[in-house]
Amino acid sequence: MGEQITRPAIDYSGLVQAIERISTAAPRVTVVGDVMLDRYWFGGVDRISPEAPVPVVAVNRIEDQLGGAANVAKNLRALGAQVGLLSVVGDDEAGRAVQALVEGEGIDNGVRVDDGAVTTIKLRVLSQNQQLIRLDFEQPPDHEVLMEVLDLYQQRLERSDVVVLSDYGKGGLLHIERMIELAQQRNIPVLADPKGRDYSRYRGVAMLTPNRKELMEACGEWNSESELNAIARSLIEQLDLGSLLLTRSEEGMTLFRHDGTVSHQPTRAREVYDVSGAGDTVIAAAAVAIAAGLPDEMAVQLATQAAGIVVGKLGVATATLEEISTGLESGLGD
């Protein structure tokens, strides 16, 4: 990395204490953003279509999972948080499936229905655990329904320790600037997972969590760690961010702080099976740690451990505090 970047060793005893603290605190987190239904069709392939040179999948199993902001909420529940979810779905079968899954996870359901919207679906077709194709269905929600979500948000802030804004660019965060402002007025930290080229909408958040591709899309490419540091520093200063947590896939995570310090946490050494939803796990783990009053360095270490577990599972998955504890005890964090 660069000389300015520290590489703190994983504080195993500190993580164990952090997990105990989170379990005791049961932090309260409000998630707002774009929810979607992750739908999986599983089947076998034993022939090629006579109509085109594509495989024919004989679907024998269908599985629905929460996606987007709803997956962030699900991850938070797995990590011991009390969670409220605010979003919009369409008046359709997929929307009803999302509502049922949300309630089944024990999440405080603030998902509203927009008669004119289509619930976002990411439909994946898999054979032998290999994804063959993904089909997306989506349509932005109505402005009036989003105003209703904003009203619910103001009420929910009264019982929130942290806010997570999960932006998937589907139109559910039209009032994001006002949401950040309202949280700041109550000294409630806001974490945001960004999308798009314009990051000005995230001004003032406590932590911004882009991945490498997202940061490049917004700020351009870099050819060295010093160039990356300059990009991150400029963004933090321009937008008055508390910190920027950059997830870098196999390279791990780098935390750039407002005070100018930088630290890097390498990825866990284990086999990567599926990276779907890993970003949701990262922001959820960071949020639950910060909500429990833990320092950002410990939040990043917890996020690293949680993400390492999730990428070893098929599909959009979660990591529990128990799984993290077991991993620490067995030395999987080395």
User: Tokens 């997202």 map to which residue?
Assistant: 214
Distance CA 209, CA 332 (A): 24
Contact (Cβ atoms closer than 8 angstroms) between residue 183 and residue 204:
no
Paired strand residues for 196 = none
CA dihedral 203, 81, 37, 317 (to 10 degrees): 110
* Residue 199, phi-psi category: left (phi > 0), alpha (psi -120 to 50), beta (remainder): alpha
Distance CA 67, CA 73 (A): 9
Contact (Cβ atoms closer than 8 angstroms) between residue 253 and residue 264:
yes
Burial 187-210 (b: 16+ CB within 10 A, else e): ebbbbbbbbeeebebbbebbbbbb
Contact (Cβ atoms closer than 8 angstroms) between residue 104 and residue 90:
no
Between the CA of residue 227 and those of 155, 188, 201, 230, what are the distances in Å?
42, 32, 24, 5
Which residues are within 8 A (CB) of 53 and not within 5 positions of it... i.e. 6 or more apart? none
Task: Render 136-201 in DSSP notation, one character per residue.
Answer: EE--PPPHHHHHHHHHHHHHHGGG-SEEEEE--SSSTTTTHHHHHHHHHHTT--EEEE--SS-GGG
Catalytic member of 240, 280, 296, 334: 280
For the chain, the first-to-last Cα distance in angstroms comes to 19
Catalytic-residue membership of 167: no
Q: How far is CA 324 from the centre of its chain?
A: 18
Return the structure tokens found at 316.
């959009």
Contact (Cβ atoms closer than 8 angstroms) between residue 181 and residue 195:
no
Supply the residues annotated as catalytic.
Answer: 280
